């Protein structure tokens, strides 16, 4: 039995060496078990193996079985690690620990609800709420507008500039609406994670205060992807042209990532504002007294620096995203 113990110790050391290669460990373990059963069969039929040797082979069988258990444990832990990292890699959850949890959301049918004044008197609320997931932008409210925009919110895409508006009513957004996912985008200077990102810092504070809140940020790589998409579709470098992508653009890209089909509500086409009979509506359905939508779009489209290219983006939606989009109202 001392021999068995020594063999056991040596075998464990061998397992440690092979622990990082689960395929090698599995192969070695199974071959050991095959050999033991082969020896048993041979001894039973020929009587060539003594009882004493059978004890040794039993020890080998036990150790082999143990190695299989260790191998299974190794693979299980590995799979848990892999599962923790599944999801859309362009969107990572804000936590106080290691930020390696990606957005894991998939919907068959999505409603992408614009914040446009076109939603006023649309009467699409019931239709919107019947879809699998409802995506909204920034702090666009539903209370008081349920008949037109619905009441369901699965996910909000939030601009860095709108984060203060969300935090003004943080109890509602992060506690009462705890089931909603929040995906925040912003420039590197505001979203950097070295303690100097102003917006990231306040989001991290909120995530610590409301640990069940699902707050994600768009990664730098995903933002670069969106910049590349803009350039490929327009032939213009976004930064050199003085443009900023809108929240609507990031929302459309995210919807493409997470939805099989997208029903868009309240979004106009790129030529809508040039039509003589277009309807003047507020820029946002929940804000009155501001510049109307088409005028706001024209101002931004012509801005030399810092403007959103709303009209250009609408043209991109029709060309690049058209395959899985349908329009609940407008975009004709």
Q: What is the pLDDT of residue 79?
A: 37
Q: Which domain holds residue 50?
A: 2-84
CB 239 within 8 A of CB 227: yes
Q: Cβ(258)–Cβ(106) under 8 Å?
A: yes
pLDDT attached to residue 325: 65
Residues 174 and 319 occupy one common structural domain: yes
Q: Which of 33, 59, 84 is the last residue of a domain?
A: 84
CA distances from 278 to 133, 215, 281, 292 (A): 30, 38, 9, 12
3 state SS of 20? coil
CA distances from 48 to 1, 37, 59, 294 (A): 21, 15, 19, 95
Confidence tier at 73 by pLDDT (50, 70, 90): low
* Residue 110 pLDDT exceeds 70: yes
Domain boundary among 30, 55, 84: 84
Pair 58, 191 in one domain: no
The chain-wide mean pLDDT, for the chain, equals 81
Encoded tokens for 191:
């979203």
Output the CA–CA distances (angstroms, integers) from residue 273 to 232, 281, 296, in the order listed: 24, 11, 10
pLDDT at position 33: 55
68 and 191 in a common domain = no
Is residue 108 domain-shared with residue 14, that is, in the same domain? no
In the chain, the number of structural domains is 2
pLDDT at residue number 324: 65
**pLDDT for the residue 205:** 97
By mean pLDDT, which of 49-58, 107-116, 177-186, 234-243 is the weakest? 49-58
Q: Are residues 323 and 216 in the same domain?
A: yes
Outline where 217-275 has alpha helix (H). 220-234, 247-258
Same domain, 133 and 264: yes
CA–CA separation, 19 vs 29, rounded Å?
12
Q: Are residues 321 and 205 in the same domain?
A: yes
Same domain flag for 96 and 60: no
Task: Please check whether residues 307 and 203 belong to one and the same domain.
Answer: yes
| Shared domain check, 294 and 146 | yes
pLDDT tens profile 291-321: 898 998 888 888 777 778 888 888 888 776 6
Give the domain-ending residue among 36, 54, 84.
Answer: 84
Instruction: Find which of 86-90, 151-155, 325-329 is predicted with most confidence, using mean pLDDT.
Output: 151-155
Q: How far apart are CA 57 and CA 65, in angstroms?
A: 12
Same domain, 24 and 102: no
210 and 322 both lie in a single domain: yes
Q: Which CATH number do you get for residue 157?
A: 3.90.1480.20
pLDDT attached to residue 18: 46
> Confidence class of residue 99 from pLDDT cuts 50, 70 and 90?
confident
The more confidently predicted of residues 9 and 197 is 197
Phi/psi of residue 159, nearest 5 degrees: -75, 150
The whole-angstrom separation of Cα 30 and Cα 247 is 55
């Amino acid at each position: 039995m001392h021999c068995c113990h020594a063999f056991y110790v040596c075998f464990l050391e061998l397992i440690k060496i092979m622990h990082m290669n689960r395929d090698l460990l599995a192969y070695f373990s199974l071959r050991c078990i095959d050999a033991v059963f082969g020896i048993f069969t041979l001894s039973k039929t020929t009587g060539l193996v003594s009882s004493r040797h059978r004890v040794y082979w039993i020890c080998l069988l036990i150790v082999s079985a143990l190695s299989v258990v260790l191998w299974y444990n190794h693979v299980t832990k590995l799979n848990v690690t892999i599962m923790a990292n599944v999801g859309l890699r362009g969107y990572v959850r804000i936590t106080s620990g290691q930020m390696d949890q990606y957005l894991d959301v998939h919907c068959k049918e999505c409603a992408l609800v614009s914040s446009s004044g076109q939603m006023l008197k649309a009467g699409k609320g019931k239709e919107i709420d019947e879809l699998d997931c409802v995506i909204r932008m920034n702090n666009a409210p539903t209370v008081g507008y349920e008949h037109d925009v619905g009441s369901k919110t699965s996910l909000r895409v939030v601009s860095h500039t709108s984060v203060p508006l969300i935090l003004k009513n943080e109890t509602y957004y992060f506690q009462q609406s705890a089931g909603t996912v929040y995906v925040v985008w912003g420039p590197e200077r505001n979203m950097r994670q070295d303690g100097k990102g102003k917006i990231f810092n306040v989001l991290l504070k909120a995530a610590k205060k409301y640990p069940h809140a699902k707050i994600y940020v768009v990664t730098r790589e995903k933002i670069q992807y969106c910049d590349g998409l803009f350039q490929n579709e327009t032939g213009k470098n976004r930064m050199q042209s003085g443009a900023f992508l809108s929240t609507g653009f990031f929302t459309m890209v995210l919807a493409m990532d997470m939805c099989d089909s997208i029903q868009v509500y309240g979004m106009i086409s790129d030529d809508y504002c040039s039509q003589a009979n277009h309807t003047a509506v507020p820029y946002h359905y929940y804000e009155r007294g501001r510049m109307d939508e088409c005028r706001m779009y024209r101002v931004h489209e012509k801005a030399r620096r810092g403007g959103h290219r709303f009209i250009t983006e609408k043209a991109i939606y029709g060309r690049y995203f058209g395959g899985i989009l349908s329009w609940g109202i407008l975009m004709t």
